[in-house]
Amino acid sequence: MNNKNNKWFYIITLMVVAIASTSCLNDLNVVPINPQVTQTFNQDEVFAKTYASFALTGQQGPAGNNDIDITDEGRFSLTRCLWNINELPTDEAICAWGDAEVVELNSNSWSSSNLAAQGLYSRLYFVVTISNHFLQQTEGLTDDKTVKQRAEVRFLRALGYFYLMDIYGNVPFTEVISDKLPPQIKRADLFIYIEKELTAIEPDMYAPSAGPYYRLDKAANWLLKARLYLNAQVYTGTARWDDAITYANKVMTSTYKLNPSFKQLFMGDNAGVVDASTNTAPQEIIFPVAADGIKTNGYGGSLFLVASTHTGDGSMPNWGSTAGWGGNRARATLISKFFPSGIVPTAADLTVAAVDDRALFLSTGRSVAVTKVTDFLKGLSVTKYSNVRFDGKATNDPQFTDMDIPFMRAAEAYLTYAEANLRSTNGTTANALTAINAIRTRANAVVLPSITKDKNGLDQVLDEWSREFFFEGRRRMDLIRYGYFGGSSTYNWDWKGGTATGTQFDAHLNLMPLPPGDLNANSNLVQNTGY
């Protein structure tokens, strides 16, 4: 980024794309809004844009009028950057592409110039800024619609700050649109802020499953709190295992439940009745990031998840899109969690051989070992994401995807509950075992006969996190919580640190760098150690 353009966070021109309806998927209407100029404020359009900022990259589809000042709009969408940063440096994913940010993430060798880190930072602050704009413009309004909207926008802002805290540590903080340079908040203080925000807005949010589809509810609030508390020791130095148990349990006993079919969660009609389908995935998906092949097309979002894991060379079963970019596939360490013996049969469907419905990999024409990083066929293909509809009907577009991203889903609560029970002195192995076996039963995997409150038991849960959530953009956070990421010599994976057999990399990489442009623009900021 050019330094002159890094004022985007402090004096920003917000362009509002309205996806205005209960489904958030009506035709796009583009309305320019500059918070520094007096003009009519369209509440519903700005409200819709706070949600759309997670799904879209700019003011026209698929690209061409970017929300942020960065090259290659779709390459640096919010969900795509978040995925790359949380998956490529870990034991799960590796990418064949030669983009500089991808090469650095693959090999745990990034610097402060990494464009994925800069892109995600900018996207998250765009969410924060447009949320601040909405909240300033609606301050003092007490009608029921606005109260609900304000609670949801505060949640989205808190979610944006959660990722900033998790990934960057001490970051700029503001709740207003202003030309004043914001101060840098300590990570532990931002934790307290997010916790208080979630508590304050909970009464004003919809009851679980009671709101329109795509709208946030109390279960999303509880799940983010459970995630916050599960990682509290990393963020603040103080463990909050019992609080993680409490809020995970609130989600588990809510109206949300595990969908009987794991595969349905990642298909083109995973919005269920909203997609006029019999797919029942919405009973598990708490926060879907909306996708529609016509109305929300772009090169980030769910198209990235589907296209980057498939190739159009004829070797893969139909995935419901003409886009096959041949980039992301599984590291051997991920495959070993499903096939610990090391014996992987040649098949287009490995779920039967693995005795686990989550083993959505293709081994035909591939090698388990990633002997060449730039060759997509070295490493098993991941077939988890698909734009094929469960009901067999046609999708809306031959290329752009209808598959909503299941950004937050109920299964997370079960594994949070299991792990926190093993870590807490007040937790029980019985509770942990019940939760983890609920996940395994849904996957038609063999249930665990027992689990222990020690490193072995916790490692079993960590492996289950991977089997359940691989390629869903969270692995980095789990490895850091376990002490298995930067600075760790006790856990290894293929191509860790850029070598085929794996090597340790420095602990300063547990945080991503603040963008140099913002450091130059804001004298209040101090760079993270090591950059």
The model's pLDDT over 244-256, given as tens digits with 9 standing for 90+, comes to 999 999 999 999 9
Counts of helices then strands in the chain (DSSP H, E): 17, 10
User: Other C-beta atoms within 10 Å of 323: how many?
Assistant: 19
Residues 124 and 41 in one domain: yes
Residues 117 and 195 in one domain: yes
Residue 370 inside a domain? The answer is: no
Question: How large is the average pLDDT for residues 98-105?
Answer: 98
Task: Please state whether beta strands 171-172 and 184-185 pair in parallel, antiparallel, or not at all (unpaired).
Answer: antiparallel
Residues 514 and 490 in one domain: no
* Domain containing residue 90: CATH number: 1.25.40.390
- Contact by Cβ (8 Å): 52, 17: yes
pLDDT score for 65:
79
Residues 41 and 90 in one domain: yes
Residue 305 inside a domain? The answer is: no
Domain ranges, residue 191: 3-204+510-521
Residues 52 and 11 in one domain: yes
Burial of 367 (0-12, 13-18, 19+ CB in 10 A): middle
Residue 334 inside a domain? The answer is: no
Distance CA 210, CA 187 (A): 34
Residues 452 and 438 in one domain: yes
What is the distance of C-alpha 446 from the center of its chain? 28
For 257: left if phi > 0, alpha if psi spans -120 to 50, otherwise beta; the answer is beta
Total domains in the chain come to 2
pLDDT score for 21:
24
pLDDT score for 282:
98
Q: Tokens 């998790």 label which residue?
A: 166
Task: Please tell me the pTM assigned to this model.
Answer: 0.93
DSSP sequence for 100-119: HHHHHHHTT---TT-HHHHH
Residues 516 and 475 in one domain: no
User: Could you say which DSSP state residue 155 is in?
Assistant: H
Residue 358 inside a domain? The answer is: no
- The secondary structure element, H or E, covering residue 427 is none
Residue 480 inside a domain? The answer is: yes
Residue 300 inside a domain? The answer is: no
pLDDT score for 62:
80
Residues 59 and 137 in one domain: yes
Q: Is the predicted pLDDT of residue 1 greater than 80, yes or no?
A: no
DSSP sequence for 52-83: HHHH--BSSSSSSSBSSS-SSTGGG-HHHHHH
User: Other C-beta atoms within 10 Å of 209: how many?
Assistant: 15
Tell me the one-letter amino acid at 361.
Answer: F
Residues 87 and 36 in one domain: yes
Residue 156 inside a domain? The answer is: yes
Residue 290 inside a domain? The answer is: no
Residues 11 and 78 in one domain: yes
Residues 423 and 516 in one domain: no
pLDDT score for 481:
98
Q: What digits encode the pLDDT tens for the residues 127-176?
A: 999 999 999 999 999 999 999 999 999 999 999 999 999 999 999 999 99
Question: How large is the average pLDDT for residues 48-65?
Answer: 85
pLDDT score for 39:
59
